[in-house]
Amino acid sequence: MKKLISKKKPFYPINNLLKTYLIDFNRWINVPISYDDLLRFQGSINVYDNNDKDTLWTRVYYSDSELKEIDYNLKKIYTILHSDGNESNLTYLNIDAIDYCTFGNSKPFRIKVRNILNDNFTYFYIKKTDSSRVFGLEFEHMLSPYNLNFFVNETTLVEEHISGIPGDIFIKEMLSKCSDSQKSQIAKEYVKFNERCMIRLLGDMRAYNYVIVPIHDFDQVIYKIRAIDFDQQSFEGRFSVYRPQFFKENQPLIKMIQKKLTHDSIDQYKIEERSIVAKRIISNEEKINQLLISMKEKPISNKENLDKLKLEIYKFTKHKDFKNSVSMGDLMGASLSFLKRNYKNIKPISKLRN
């Protein structure tokens, strides 16, 4: 299988219309500390997991002269993200760790925050602003079953942590231990996840870019699948990048689907997911239209990728709106319009096969 993603994606700044959208919907906040501020660390040490394997994260530390201000401002960001920004609770918070990841495109900082009253802790992430990622987050918020909590400004993006078991770890260590009924249920969820990513043009869903979420439901455990990385929103030119089934890291799940589900079942789950997404589009129509308009203002990919992708999707759907698209925003709008127009008579148009 050819490598689907070969080049690093550039960062794209927030355009004027997107900024207006983010202000209108309370996503735009000027935070007290920026991504670039956190880059001024003095040193770092590698972070290892419980099996002494390098996690590719490094724990950073700062000079005494900067640490106090950084500590305070990170607590402030936490209260803005999870509460109303009130400083009265800052004394009960402790910044346990600031980790930096050099792996991947966004090079995020992961902040571990602990409540000293009960030792409960959580994480949030600080990243460099990228409009592609913001579009990805917003579409995930509106078109998936999951709400996302984040805010952004010209330089800095703050995201809450999405809990779950990383897909690559789940496949390697836990999938074989699942019961037959659990494997069938995971197969169903993956079909729906694959379909959802394709519809909303979210790319690069390799196993480490999504999580498996176990949920106790009466007398059983069911599993949901959530994307956790949104850098590759409508950037790449190969349509297969937006279909998780084609990444080699996901092949154990694809083989399981082929073993556990019939073609009729796969088609049924695709139709269910497409219908649900279509209803979400209709429910959020005004907001989505405003977001799509801002997506068309400035490029979030290059012309080569756009020309290649629109022709591949046109061949896939035979719908002229894709062929006539002049921006990734047009392509995204064509995808959502295509689904919305046909949702009362939806048929599956993708195939899960190697």
pLDDT band at 85 (very low <50, low <70, confident <90, very high): confident
222 φ, ψ (degrees, to nearest 5): -110, 165
Whole-number Å distance between alpha carbons of 114 and 229? 24
Q: Are residues 234 and 150 in the same domain?
A: no
Q: Are residues 144 and 225 in the same domain?
A: no
In a domain, 274, yes or no: yes
Q: How many separate domains does the chain show?
A: 2
Q: Are 135 and 141 in contact (CB under 8 A)?
A: no
Is the same domain home to 238 and 331? yes
Query: What pLDDT score does 353 carry?
Result: 46
Lowest-pLDDT range of 1-5, 127-131, 164-168, 196-200: 1-5
Identify the pLDDT of residue 274. Answer: 94
Residues 266 and 332 in one domain: yes
Sheet order of strands, 220-227 included: 165-166, 210-217, 220-227
Residue 353 lies in a domain: no
Residue 11 lies in a domain: no
Q: In the 8-state DSSP scheme, what is residue 261? A: -
Decide: 148 and 140 in contact? Cβ < 8 Å. yes
For residue 345, the model assigns a pLDDT of 65
pTM: 0.93
Of 251, 57, 241, the residue nearest 172 (C-alpha): 251
C-alpha 143/C-alpha 266 separation (Å) is 20
Task: Flag whether 352 is in a domain.
Answer: no
At residue 19, does pLDDT exceed 90? yes
Are both 188 and 311 inside the same structural domain? yes
Strand 93-101, strand 43-48: pairing:
unpaired
Residue 349's pLDDT band (cuts 50, 70, 90): low
Same domain for 91 and 156? Answer: yes
Q: In the chain, what percentage of residues exceed pLDDT 90?
A: 85
Residue 340, pLDDT score: 87
Both 148 and 190 in one domain: the answer is no
User: Which of 137, 160, 183 is the C-terminal boundary of a domain?
Assistant: 160
Domain that residue 122 falls in: 16-160
The pair of structure tokens assigned to 147 is 């709400």
Question: Which residue, of 125, 160, 195, is where some domain finishes?
Answer: 160
**339 to each of 34, 157, 158, 274, 296, how far by Cα in Å?**
39, 30, 31, 7, 19
Structure tokens that stand for 82 in this block: 């999870």
Q: Is the pLDDT of residue 247 over 70?
A: yes
The separation between CA 54 and the C-alpha centre of its own chain, rounded to angstroms, equals 23
Average pLDDT, the chain: 93
Residue 199 has pLDDT above 90, yes or no: yes
